[in-house]
Amino acid sequence: MKPQNPQQPVSHYVHLSQVVTETDLIASSNQLETALTNGQYQEYCALKIANSKDMKEEEIWNFLKVGSKKISLDRNLLVIRK
Confidence bin at 54 (pLDDT 50/70/90): very high
Residue 58 maps to a domain: yes
Q: 18 — alpha (psi -120 to 50), left (phi > 0) or beta?
A: beta
pLDDT value of residue 80: 56
Domain residues for the domain of 76 are 23-81
Asked, for residue 50, whether it belongs to a domain, the answer is: yes
Q: Is the pLDDT of residue 43 over 80?
A: yes
Q: Where is pLDDT greater, at 62 or 19?
A: 62
29 is a domain residue: yes
> Phi-psi region for residue 29, left (φ > 0), alpha (ψ -120 to 50) or beta?
alpha
- Total count of domains within the chain: 1
In a domain, 59, yes or no: yes
12 assigned to some structural domain:
no
| Alpha carbon distance 77, 20 (integer Å) | 45
Residue 79 confidence (pLDDT) above 60 = no
- Asked whether residue 39 is assigned to any structural domain, the reply reads yes
Percentage, residues of the chain above pLDDT 70: 77
